[in-house]
Amino acid sequence: MNNIIVMPMMLPVLLGIILLFLRPYVKTQRTISLLVFLANIGISIYVLQLIQQNGVMRLDFGGWQPPFGILFVADSFSMLLVLSSSVVAAACLIYSFSSVKPSFEKNFFYSFVLFLIAGVNGSFLTGDIFNLFVCFEIMLLSSYVLIAFGGRKRQLRESIKYVIINVVSSWIFLVAIAYLYGTVGTLNMAHLSERIAEVGQTPMITVISVVFLTVFALKAGLFLYFWLPGSYSVPITPIAALFGALLTKVGIYAMFRVFTLLFYQEQQITHMLIGILAALTLIGGSIGAVAYKDIRLVASYNVIIAVGFILVGLAVATPSAIEGSIYYLIHDIIIKALLFLLVGTMIAVTGQTRMDEISGLIKNHPLLGWLFFLTTLSLSGIPPLSGFIGKVLIGEGAVAAGAYVLLALAFISSIFVLYSLMRIFLTSFWGETIISKDEEVPAKKGWVVSTCILALGTIALGLGAEPMSVYIQDAAETLLNPQIYIDAVLGGN
């Protein structure tokens, strides 16, 4: 009886529904949604401890035994991601208290944020591939609503693109699931893994795995990222931060799960393909990050570089590279939220979106400036901040596997990250202060609190690498040995 592992998804759903009835009471809505995320943080830490003691946990919905019913499976990998998504969600929520218009708050804003997080957490936890599709849809449907909050012209144009891309890719996802079910005859991921191992990964199954790769590449922005910079630069700041931090990560998570648990036998085809796509993503993302002057676009291209970087780890697939990827995934969830919040704050304070129209911000906003500098350092991987260990481990893994091209591209892309953000720092924060203090919109307390929480998060993640490594090694071990996962799901009660 592990009912607790369903809570990270169902608590937000239940409270999100209750908030629909509390439409006029904005204060109550804020309190309840913040409490939900705090509860989720507590639950995920507790479950992580339980997994350390008892191994991978599962919950059969309605008591239906696997592989017949649907189920949630909690291993260290999923719980670490649930934990970081809850932290980020709480920080973005605090930010939105002081930046979202009351008219949005009365139009179910918090309910949809809760549903979005429910979908994200559900995708991390589910042990059934069709259920994964459903959780993706919960997440996407709420994101369709959230991306259009504001209703400006550019926003509506980008959200139509976003909706169409995602509807099409969800359709391909459904087709891929149908192919897989037609070939192997089951949908439970552990059972799928067992059956694919039994018959061997036939060419047919490899083709299906490439269809899955296409879907997740579209969702994660792996090479098929053409929709991403536009869509992620239009929503209101806290939503952009949630999108940048979480939505692509769900695609990356799905890729890790599917290509380590199900399709791991033909690595010279599938993982090679992932490697090529990751390399192209790194190149394209780096060019994009230095090509634009709109700071929101620069931030969005940084998301793409990170996607490429994390998937280098999956393409190489040595133990230390996988560990590094998990580490970097957690780091990137936190730091991308921070980056988007800071960029949004810069725009809110000055009213400009291009970096050359902003100058000398650091005089009136020293804290904002130094937080941005800290983010730059952390993203480019300067120790002791959190980006460092992930980069070292992925690099180590790439050297061990002899993937020198990927290694070189991954580290050159870090230089591009550093350059693109230092450019913003130098042009926008230094230089002559062109906007006087009374013309500026003063920074609000909620903005400072939420960005400081995330900044502390990145420092803590960097300094606390040693205690964290227990969980991360466990997560990597489960990913590399599918048998652990299969035994936990199919092996008795």
211 binds another protein (CB under 8 A): no
- The answer to whether 45 and 139 are in contact (CB under 8 A) is no
Least distance CB 363 / another protein (angstroms): 48
Q: Point out which span in 8-16, 41-49, 253-261, 367-375 binds another protein (CB under 8 A).
A: 8-16
Q: Point out which span in 25-33, 61-69, 128-136, 227-235 binds another protein (CB under 8 A).
A: 61-69
32 binds another protein (CB under 8 A): no
151 binds another protein (CB under 8 A): no
For residue 72 the two structure tokens come to: 């949630």
Q: Point out which span in 54-62, 130-138, 146-154, 215-223 binds another protein (CB under 8 A).
A: 54-62
Least distance CB 23 / another protein (angstroms): 9
CA distances from 131 to 12, 122, 172, 331 (A): 17, 9, 15, 27
Least distance CB 59 / another protein (angstroms): 6
CA separation for the pair 297, 454 (Å, rounded) = 21
Task: Using alpha carbons, select from 69, 128, 393 the residue that is nearest to residue 257.
Answer: 128
CA separation for the pair 360, 444 (Å, rounded) = 19
Among residues 24, 53, 62, 103, the one that binds another protein under rule CB under 8 A? 62
CA separation for the pair 89, 473 (Å, rounded) = 25
Max CA distance (Å), the chain: 71
CA distances from 244 to 48, 59, 117, 281 (A): 25, 30, 13, 16
Q: Point out which span in 15-23, 189-197, 271-279, 405-413 binds another protein (CB under 8 A).
A: 15-23
Footprint of another protein on 154-173 (CB under 8 A): none
Among residues 43, 51, 59, 222, the one that binds another protein under rule CB under 8 A? 59
CA separation for the pair 413, 407 (Å, rounded) = 10
In sequence order, the 6+-apart residues with CB closer than 8 A to the CB of 88 are 241, 242, 245, 246, 333, 334, 337, 454
Among residues 24, 53, 63, 102, the one that binds another protein under rule CB under 8 A? 63
Among residues 10, 172, 382, 484, the one that binds another protein under rule CB under 8 A? 10
> Binding pattern to another protein, positions 264-303, x when CB under 8 A?
----------------------------------------
Among residues 30, 33, 41, 60, the one that binds another protein under rule CB under 8 A? 60
Least distance CB 14 / another protein (angstroms): 5
CA separation for the pair 268, 396 (Å, rounded) = 20
21 binds another protein (CB under 8 A): yes
Q: Point out which span in 17-25, 241-249, 363-371, 480-488 binds another protein (CB under 8 A).
A: 17-25
CA distances from 261 to 216, 257, 287 (A): 15, 6, 33
CA separation for the pair 426, 13 (Å, rounded) = 43
234 binds another protein (CB under 8 A): no
Q: Assign 124 to helix, strand or coil.
A: helix
17 binds another protein (CB under 8 A): yes
57 binds another protein (CB under 8 A): no
For residue 227 the two structure tokens come to: 């929709």
Q: Point out which span in 60-68, 201-209, 325-333, 454-462 binds another protein (CB under 8 A).
A: 60-68
In sequence order, the 6+-apart residues with CB closer than 8 A to the CB of 241 are 88, 92, 95, 336, 337, 338, 340, 341, 344
Binding residues (CB under 8 A) for another protein: these are: 1, 3, 6, 10, 13-14, 17-18, 20-21, 59-63
